[in-house]
Amino acid sequence: MARILIANDDCDLLELCRSFLEDEGHLVDIVANGEEAVARLRTWMPDLVVMDWVMPEMDGGTAVEKLRAHPATASMPVLMMSGSDDGEARSLAAGADSFLRKPFRGAELVNCVADLLRSTSGIARPTTAV
């Protein structure tokens, strides 16, 4: 079981992602934009962040850059999702560890999260919030 923070402004997709990941036994928290994600990291330190690129207040790219700039969250794995043609290149350039193109199936999300958690399981991360 991992602690996962999902940031997405599409309420239906947010709830669907939460459901897929909770069905896999993960503890999931959700926020509606990048600004809320960065703020949430001050009080709750997840094992992984799933972030949409296009969101109001603060987009996913900016949120990931902020996350990477802070020592407590610099190595936190991030799965970025986007439906844009250049989404993968932009996401990886912003500092995301992995990318999921929208639209996607629930199994794709679950597999991406599992792969990312498996590949980063040896990385020591702080247990206290930023």
Q: What is the CATH number of the domain that holds 81?
A: 3.40.50.2300
The answer as to whether 128 is a domain residue is no
pLDDT reported for residue 85: 86
pTM above 0.85, yes or no: yes
- Asked if residue 78 belongs to a domain, the reply is yes
Rg over alpha carbons for the chain, rounded to the nearest Å, is 13
> With contact defined as beta carbons under 8 Å apart, do 27 and 3 qualify?
yes
Domain hosting 32: range is 3-119
In a domain, 126, yes or no: no
- In the chain, the number of structural domains is 1
Instruction: Report the pLDDT value the prediction gives residue 124, as an integer from 0 to 100.
Output: 42
For residue 130, is it within any domain?
no
Nearest to 95 by CA among 60, 128, 46, 44: 60
Residue 98 lies in a domain: yes
Decide if pLDDT at 61 tops 50.
yes
More confident residue, 56 or 113: 113
Residue 60 lies in a domain: yes
